[in-house]
Structure 1
Amino acid sequence: MQEEFDQYIVSFLQSFPDLNSEELAFMRSYLTVETYAKKAFLFKCGEVQKEIGFVCKGLLRRYYINEKGNKITTGFVNENKYATDYPAFIRQQPSKYYIECLEPSIIIKLPYEKIQEGYRKFKRSEMYGRLIAEYVLTVQTDRVESFLFKNAEERYLDFIAQNQDIINRISLSHLASHLGIERQSLSRIRSKISKR
């Protein structure tokens, strides 16, 4: 198992080609790898997220519970993506979200304190921090704008186009919730598209 974990870390570090050996050694010194069972939580609403998760294997969903007690899915996180409520993470404030594993998952953890230490010590670390922040911002903005400027069918077609790798791994209920529609509406949209 440790050998497999080491391979994940080596693979993860390769996504930082601009870091020198000292910077890579510092990063490697604090990374941990954890396995999560299906239905386990990376973190829950009300908790302060102490670590960003990088998904090596598996699939997670982010959701919140609305005033009616419904779970509203706001995103999915699969391989080679970061699992985080980033605004709450960088402020070290309690999250409003749950991040739950939809599949057994293997996740690399990057602690907040060590990330901040890396920023202080190494200039290039700040650049990678900025790139992660920019990625998270664009994902969140795209989601908000899809509700402002697109109808449900357009949101569904966009989701299919951008998520070929996970579309068969998520339930229709979770997908409908993510798209902001009832499951029956999603079934109608899928049926209409299949007849084209």
Structure 2
Amino acid sequence: MIDLDQIKRIYSIAGDLNFSDVKHLLQAAGRKTFLPGEHLIEADTLQNQVYFIYKGLVRVYAVNERGDEITTELRCENELVASYDVIFFDKPSRFYIQAMEKTETFHIAYDELQKVLERNRKLDVNRKYILQNLLKNAFERIDTFTLKTPEERYLHFLESNPSLTNRVPDKYIANVLGVTPVSLSRIRKRIAQKTKS
């Protein structure tokens, strides 16, 4: 059952969607809670669910040829997460999406989302917003890696995700920044020294 507070909260961060649009989408969506360690999406599957994280935290990661887990993204409250491989390229996901905390989500299959949007002319104009939201994170990551130093990436991470440093182990933050945990420690030390002077 969708309650008024949930609709209001999602409406407050939903871009161009109006109150009625948000209510309509939530009525078409399912709800699921994931416990820490559970996967929302598994690699090598064609799961095309789009998840809105109502409460909690997930990481997106891949496993390299040596068997190491490489975390590429961290997503928390009020963010969307999905498999870009499945949705945009119709290919099996290369990534796992895993809950790091108890995580409450609303979810809808991308195909069903498309149908809901097409049936409602007012909602259909917001399709662009939903796709942009999914792509924004990928492009931001490319931009930060090509245009910023590791220290600048860390400062950007802090600015964009102020609560995550206390919720996420350093090894995952280091992965997301493309540095080692030792380098992350050095970056923090340099920033602390600059702040003191």
TM-score calculated relative to the size of structure 2: 0.86
Alignment equivalent of 1:36, drawn from 31, 34, 37: 34
Unaligned runs of 5+ in 1: none
Aligned to 2:141: 143
Q: Say whether residues 1:6 and 2:3 are aligned partners.
A: yes
**Greater mean deviation of Cα atoms: 164-173 or 124-133:** 124-133
Residues 137 and 27 (structure 1 numbering): CA distance in 2 closer, same or farther, change over 3 Å?
closer
Cα distance in 2 between the residues matched to 1:157 and 1:13? 28
Task: Encode CA deviations 1:9-43: one digit per residue, 9 max, x unaligned.
Answer: 5346634775585x666534422111110011001
Cα distance in 2 between the residues matched to 1:39 and 1:176? 19
Residues 27 and 171 (structure 1 numbering): CA distance in 2 closer, same or farther, change over 3 Å?
same
Report the number of matched residues. Answer: 192
Alignment equivalent of 1:73, drawn from 71, 74, 87: 71
Cα distance in 2 between the residues matched to 1:159 and 1:16? 22
Q: Say whether residues 1:102 and 2:96 are aligned partners.
A: no
**Greater mean deviation of Cα atoms: 134-143 or 83-92:** 83-92
Q: How does 1:155-170 map to 2 (within 5 A)?
A: 155-170=153-168
Taking only the aligned residue pairs, the percentage that are identical comes to 27
- How far off is 1:96 after superposition? 0.8
Q: How does 1:149-188 map to 2 (within 5 A)?
A: 149-188=147-186
Task: Encode CA deviations 1:110-167: one digit per residue, 9 max, x unaligned.
Answer: 2223212123212332332211211232221121121112221111111111111322
Unaligned runs of 5+ in 2: none
TM-score calculated relative to the size of structure 1: 0.86
Cα distance in 2 between the residues matched to 1:112 and 1:138? 17
Cα distance in 2 between the residues matched to 1:34 and 1:109? 7
Q: Secondary structure of the equivalent of 2:153?
A: helix
Cα distance in 1 between the residues matched to 2:164 and 2:193? 23
Cα distance in 2 between the residues matched to 1:16 and 1:147? 27
Aligned to 2:113: 115
Aligned to 2:127: 129
Cα distance in 1 between the residues matched to 2:18 and 2:88? 22
Q: Secondary structure of the equivalent of 2:3?
A: helix
Cα distance in 2 between the residues matched to 1:143 and 1:123? 33
Residues 6 and 50 (structure 1 numbering): CA distance in 2 closer, same or farther, change over 3 Å?
farther
Contact 2:60 2:73 (C-alpha < 8 Å) held by counterparts: yes
Counterpart code for 1:154:
E
**Greater mean deviation of Cα atoms: 101-110 or 159-168:** 159-168
